[in-house]
A and B are shown apart, each in its own frame.
Chain A
Amino acid sequence: SQTIHQWPATLVQPVGSPLSLECTVEGTSNPNLYWYRQAAGRGLQLLFYSVGIGQISSEVPQNLSASRPQDRQFILSSKKLLLSDSGFYLCAWSSSGRASYEQYFGPGTRLTVT
């Protein structure tokens, strides 16, 4: 079966510091990968998605970037964090085949920028 991991689970970082969040998927190959941010325990905002290694699509201009160095690894980064980057970050994957379209989410990372 497939599993998705995210780490760290929680993170407290000062303004201006760098960020690296990691997401890995097991049990599938060539997945579509996604980064979302959820603010105030409510709506989801799609930040980035990737359909393959090195292929990153950005949904909104922001202080963040994403990379996919390996097939099942997705990294969210920032060079200098802003207070507004605080939130709950969720990674998700979906099959690249046509058999299913749903996304499966990781446990999330709670980021607090102080």
Chain B
Amino acid sequence: AQSVAQPEDQVNVAEGNPLTVKCTYSVSGNPYLFWYVQYPNRGLQFLLKYITGDNLVKGSYGFEAEFNKSQTSFHLKKPSALVSDSALYFCAVRVIKAAGNKLTFGGGTRVLVKP
């Protein structure tokens, strides 16, 4: 069965510093990986995905993620965090051989960017 783990419940970072949100996955076969962000009382917003190709994927709002097959990781990064990046971040993996593009989500990581 596919699974993703986000080992940190919360990440605190000062504004202007680099931001990293960790995600590891377990899947048989090639993984399709996704990152989403959720602001309070809002739906999830799609940030980026890795399907195939370059290991460094660029997405919305200056975010990028690096796919590392040997470490089974897909960490989300931003070179310089903004206070407005404070939100809940979810990593997800597509469920293989399942109808309907089902995704399995991690438990989420809350990011707090302090001024």
Contacts and interface: CB of A to CB of B under 8 A. Distances in A.
Interface of A: 6, 32, 34, 41-44, 46, 49-51, 57, 88, 90, 92, 94-95, 101-108, 110
Nearest to A107: B43
B57 to A, nearest CB: 12
| Residue in B32, B46, B101 with the greatest tally of chain A CB atoms within 10 Å | B101
Nearest to B107: A43
Given A44-B90, A102-B34, A108 B101 contact: no
A46 B102 contact: yes
Interface of B: 32, 34, 36, 40-46, 49, 51, 88, 90, 94, 99-103, 105, 107-108
A102 B36 CA distance: 10
| Residue in B34, B49, B102 with the greatest tally of chain A CB atoms within 10 Å | B102
Contacts of B40: 41
Contact of A104 (B46, B105, B108): B46
A71 B19 CA distance: 41
Given A43-B108, A57-B100, A101 B49 contact: yes
A14 to B, nearest CB: 22
For the complex of A and B, the 4 pairs showing the least CB-CB separation, nearest first, are A105-B43, A32-B100, A105-B44, A94-B101
Nearest to B95: A46
Given A51-B99, A51-B100, A103 B46 contact: yes
Nearest to A104: B46
Given A42-B107, A42-B108, A102 B46 contact: yes
Contacts of B88: 41-42
B101 A90 contact: no
A108 B42 CA distance: 6
Nearest to B42: A107
| Residue in B34, B36, B40, B44 with the greatest tally of chain A CB atoms within 10 Å | B44
A107 B102 CA distance: 19
Contacts of B99: 51, 57
